[in-house]
Structures are given as structure tokens and as C-alpha cells.
Amino acid sequence: MNRRAVLAIDIANPTERDQTPGAVANAVTSAPSSAAPASAVALGVLERDGVRTLGALAGETHNRRSDGVLALVAQLFEMHTLRPSDLARVIVTVGPGGYTATRVGVTAGVTLAHACGADIVGVPCWLGAWWGRDRSVDAEGRTLIALAGKRDSAHLSIMEPGESAVPRAVGVRTAEALTELAPRRVIAGRHLPGAFEDGFARIGVPVERVRTGADVLLSHAMDLSPAAHAGDVRPLYAREPDAVTQWRTLHPGAFSDDEPA
């Protein structure tokens, strides 16, 4: 049987999950509490009924460089006696999340897909967060997903009951939007601004932390169509990088309103 490998990369929004047997196989790091870093990379093989997970590795959240991600990938392939030529599909989170982590994850995924002639699927982080939610508390009402928190704002997406299986992005908003959006459930990243924490407490909505990881992506690797070209998968930033903002301030004539930064 010719095995076909599927690789997932998720480092844009590093999260922690409760340690349960088999939750993250072969984790290379551990947290001092009952939580461990979620998997950064995961490897599986295509079978008739979907993707069978072979293993997953958690990376060091303070060292999410491209060489670190690729080292984890190489380790997984070696552990499961697979070769790059076996790679059929790469699925990677594209943001919004941390600038560097998002860029590194996308670059690693696109490079591997291009070099190995594999399909690539880019997944917005709000969809990964929805996939990884605690399904035991699914209920009626609007779910709000808050990611990429910074200062007084966060990138928001909403999932309406009875609508499609994909959350709809609202964009970067402040906590003042909570009254208008009126969520019944909140899934939030680890850098949620205090104003949002206070706002959710005020309207009586508990905050559920994001529980996604590469193993979650892997289980949905065949749910979405791949990009037509590897280069079509690009980082999705909630805001323009601070370096660009500072450059605009120092050089106001460097960009026109019609040109991207």
C-alpha cells in the first residue's frame, strides 16, 4: 500500500490544553501545571475513511523559528518512516495571530508543499478555533471568537446558530462592540485584552480559551479544497505590522492610498 502523508502546522496562536492520555502524542515540551502546549505539527496518512493520525509534536512557544518548525516536521517523518515524497497535503493556519509565528508557519507550510509537490490548504485561525471548541457545551446562540488581542482591540469572528459551518470574520474591534454583537458563548485567545475580559463578565458570558492545535487541523485536513497554487496561501494579519506603521509615520509619502504596504 502506498501511504500518503498529510501534515498539519499550527503555531499562529500557541495554546495550552489539559493533559489527557493520547491528546498530544510524543509531546517534546510540558507545562508545570495540568496543561501542556498544544501540538505545533501533526502527521497522518490518508485512508479510505479520512486521515489517520500517526503522531504530533509540541514546539517551544518561545522558539517558533522556521528551523525549529522544520526540525519538528523532520522528526515526525523520521519517527514514522515516511519520506518527503510521501507528502500529499499540508494544512496550515494562516492567522490572525502573532506576526512572527504566523509568518513562520505559513512559510514553512508553503515551502514544504512547493518542494514536495503537495497540495496546501490555508486555514484562518478562527476556523481552527471553532473546530477545536469544547463540543460538550455547544448550545443555541451566537458564538464569538476573539483572537490576536492587542492593547484595547481584538480580531472578532462570529458563528451563528443554524448557519454554515464556517465562522464569519467581523474584523478588529474594541470591547464596545460586545453590546452590539451580544454573544452567548466566547472562545478567546490567550492575549485577550482586559477590556474584553471585563466586558464579557459584565454581560455574563464565560470565556472559553482556544483549544486548537495541529492535531485538530489534521482531523479536518480533507474538509477544505486546496489552494490552486502554493503561493496563494499567505499570512492573514489582524493589523499591519508595527514596523510598517512606524515607517508610515517617518515617511508619510512612502505609500499612496492605492498601494499595499
Residue 25's pLDDT band, with cuts at 50, 70 and 90, is very low
Number of neighbours of residue 28 by Cβ within 10 angstroms:
13
Judge whether residue 7 has pLDDT over 90: yes
Under a CB-based contact definition with an 8 Å cutoff, are residues 12 and 96 in contact?
Answer: yes
pLDDT reported for residue 79: 95
Tell me the per-residue pLDDT of 103-157, one tens digit each, with 9 for 90 and over: 999 999 999 999 999 999 999 999 999 999 998 888 888 999 999 999 999 999 9
Which pLDDT score is estimated for 139? Answer: 80
Q: What is the pLDDT of residue 21?
A: 37
pLDDT of residue 259: 47
Q: What's the pTM?
A: 0.85
- pLDDT bin (cut points 50, 70, 90) of residue 16 is low
Does a cis peptide bond (omega within 30 degrees of 0) precede residue 21? no
* Cβ–Cβ < 8 Å for 46, 4: yes
pLDDT value at 192 more than 50 = yes
Determine the pLDDT at residue 116: 93
Strands 207-209 and 153-159: unpaired
Residue 205 pLDDT greater than 50, yes or no: yes
Query: For residue 20, what pLDDT band results from cuts at 50, 70 and 90?
Result: very low
Tell me whether residue 254 is exposed, middle or buried, using C-beta atoms within 10 angstroms of its C-beta: 0 to 12, 13 to 18, 19 or more: exposed
Q: Could you report the per-residue pLDDT of 60-105, keeping only the tens digit for each?
A: 654 456 678 999 999 999 999 999 899 999 999 999 998 889 999 9
Residues 6+ apart with CB under 8 A from 79: 26, 55
Which SS3 state, helix, strand or coil, does residue 241 take?
coil
Q: Is the CA virtual torsion 45, 70, 261, 175 positive or negative?
A: positive
- Measured between alpha carbons, how far is 238 from 249 in angstroms, rounded to an integer? 19
- Average pLDDT of the chain is 85
Question: Would the pLDDT of 40 be above 70?
Answer: yes
pLDDT the model gives residue 140: 82
Q: Tell me the chain's radius of gyration from C-alpha atoms.
A: 19
